Structure 1
Amino acid sequence: MKLVIDIAGMAFDARFETEKAQKTCAAFASRLPFDGRIVHVRWSGEAVWIPLGDLDFGIGYENHTSYPAPGQILLYPGGISETEILLAYGGVQFASKMGQLAGNHFITLTSGLERLPEIGRLALWEGAQPIRFRPA
């Protein structure tokens, strides 16, 4: 399934990684459209995240990594830290105040990667930015 992700007035094409993260993709797709606000990460490097508290997607780990590439989106299903979605725009080692984390790589951006550093700059210097995941 193809997606469009709107962030701070910019649209990015994306795809679900259904072959590698089938359960995560299905759980998230059932909640589309999904709205939130991104903020800059504190411990992970060049990324933004959506804090989701105790939201339970009913999934475990699949296709998980601590080192997403720019344009990869992870869903951390909760556990030692709160549930969250992370979008890498540069170098990342996914972590929290509890230590290193691994999240399920379930979405990959397919357009606009050159604009990702601007998203990071906006979140860092201008605060929380709106994000919306929707079917293409």
Structure 2
Amino acid sequence: MTNLTVTIAGVTFDARFEEEAAPKTVAAFRARMPFIGQVVHVRWSGEGVWIPLGETDFGVGYENHTSYPAPGQIILYPGGISETEILLAYGGVHFASKMGQLAGNHFITLTSGLDRLAQIGPKVLWEGAQDIRFELA
């Protein structure tokens, strides 16, 4: 089921909210849609891109959290020992910061175009920050 589209660097993916597993995170994020930002390449986590959100407070704690999102999974780190962020795995990820291992709430999964996902990471790494947009389908 497609609930939303995610467009990164001009490439659009269908996606679904993980409403049963992360209902509070989904509700908090949905209230801010459309959500527009920029992704940069991760520093410590491996093959992923992230949206640094500083002190942004989504008002949620941990639910459906993981340190190892699979390619196409999007997680929200609600803040704490590191800044709030949204991370998209495009390959192998062990979610971490300079403070050590973190866990984020898996709340969105890309459902189409996963074969194009691998081009996003190197583009962000070599060309710099890229636009990202989350919209309801």
**TM > 0.5 between the two?**
yes
Deviations 1:50-91 (A, max 9, x none): 000000000000000000000000000000000000000000
Aligned to 2:89: 88
User: Which 5+ residue runs of structure 2 have no aligned equivalent?
Assistant: none
Q: What is the rounded CA distance, in whole Å, between the counterparts of 2:31 and 2:113 in structure 1?
A: 25
Amino acid at match of 2:21: K
Q: Find out whether 1:11 has 2:9 as its counterpart.
A: no
* Match in the other structure for 1:52: 53
TM-score, normalised via structure 2 length = 0.98
Q: Offset at 1:116?
A: 1.0
C-alpha distance in 2 between matches for 1:98 and 1:30: 30
Tell whether 2:70 aligns with 1:69.
yes
Q: Which runs of 5+ in 1 are unaligned?
A: none
> Structure 2: how far apart are the matches of 1:2 and 1:110?
10
1:27 alignment counterpart: 28
Q: State the AA in 1 paired with 2:52.
A: P
- Partners in 2 of 1:80 and 1:100 — Cα distance? 10
Count of residues paired in the alignment: 136
Letter in 1 for 2:53: L
Structure 1 residue runs of 4 or more that deviate by more than 3 Å after TM superposition: none
Deviation at 1:117, TM superposition (A): 1.2
